[in-house]
Amino acid sequence: MSGSGTGLEGFSAIVTGGGSGIGLGCARRLVTDGASVTIVGRTEERLVAAVAELATLAAGGAIVQHAVADVTDEDAIAAAVARATEPTGGLDAAVACAGGSETLGPMTQMDTDAWRRTIDLNVTGTMLTIKHAARPMAAAGRGSIVGISSIASARTHRWFGAYGVGKAGIDHVCQLAADELGASGVRVNCIQPGLVDTDLVGFVTAGGPVLDDYLENMPIARVGTVEDIAALVRFLVGSESTWITGQVIGVDGGHHLRRGPDYRSIVEPIYGPDALRGLVDPS
């Protein structure tokens, strides 16, 4: 059952990658506004700790729970979606936030298996989340799905390997789903975060030439917060955005207006300057 007004009372939502970072920030915002939320991730210990935190914010009978699942495992994500429908008997919102990368380095020295795993995590994981979350939504004739990609999908990040490619795939999967599911009243949008202060990018936000380069390419020159992303997620799943679908929206301080960041200072000491222009030692 959907909520009314500006609150999310009566909503049921699922957030993949909800145990930490942007996913946890999104779950926190949805719970605070009244939704029952199921967070999904691969590490139960982390999920249990996150649920304990989120439960302190829940009110009005809202339920906070977790489901352990790898989003590339279809049976596991189907079960997680089913669990997310238990609090209200339906599903109003899904945030596909699980993602990441195992690749960093020149294309000519790419670990092909790591490339495949990264693409699978980002693209297939988002597709499976949409596939199963959309089923109860379509049956009810309403619902909102939000994918989380990255500025790396819109601006090349040299030596980032499969990460940006996978995030671009998320953008397209979300737009394809929006085009198909609109007939059943289900909306699908995607957010491209810029540099957001999470543990995943702590090696950048700690300071140094890479952070300096990020800030030089942002008209609003600051590192983003998980709350910046969660605020837009909240808007996109709520009643305020019922005629918005198929959008890919940057939340990046305007970074998309300029160029991708320069990771040379991190990558060059590992691979050497020749490798960064595609040369491979034949020995």
Q: Tens digits of per-residue pLDDT, 123-182?
A: 999 999 999 999 999 999 999 999 999 999 999 999 999 999 999 999 999 999 999 999
* CA atoms in the 13 A half-sphere facing the CB of 207: 0
Contact 193, 151 (CB under 8 A): yes
Take residue 272 and report the two structure tokens written for it.
């050497």
- Kindly list the structural domains of the chain, giving each domain's residue range(s) and its CATH number in brackets, ordered by start: 12-269 (3.40.50.720)
> Quick check: is 163 catalytic?
yes
Per annotation, catalytic residue among 163, 214, 263, 271: 163
pLDDT of residue 281: 87
Report residue 99's pLDDT band, with 50, 70 and 90 as the boundaries. Answer: very high
User: What is d(CA 83, CA 192) in angstroms, rounded to the nearest whole number?
Assistant: 28
User: What is d(CA 213, CA 157) in angstroms, rounded to the nearest whole number?
Assistant: 12
pTM of the shown model: 0.96
Predicted confidence (pLDDT) per residue in 221-234, tens digit: 999 999 999 999 99
- Give the percent of the chain with pLDDT over 70: 98
Take residue 103 and report the two structure tokens written for it.
């690749």
For 109-267, where are the E strands, in sequence order? 143-148, 186-193, 248-251
Q: Hey, is 69 helix, strand or coil?
A: coil
Report residue 283's pLDDT band, with 50, 70 and 90 as the boundaries. Answer: confident
Predicted confidence (pLDDT) per residue in 19-60, tens digit: 999 999 999 999 999 999 999 999 999 999 999 999 999 988
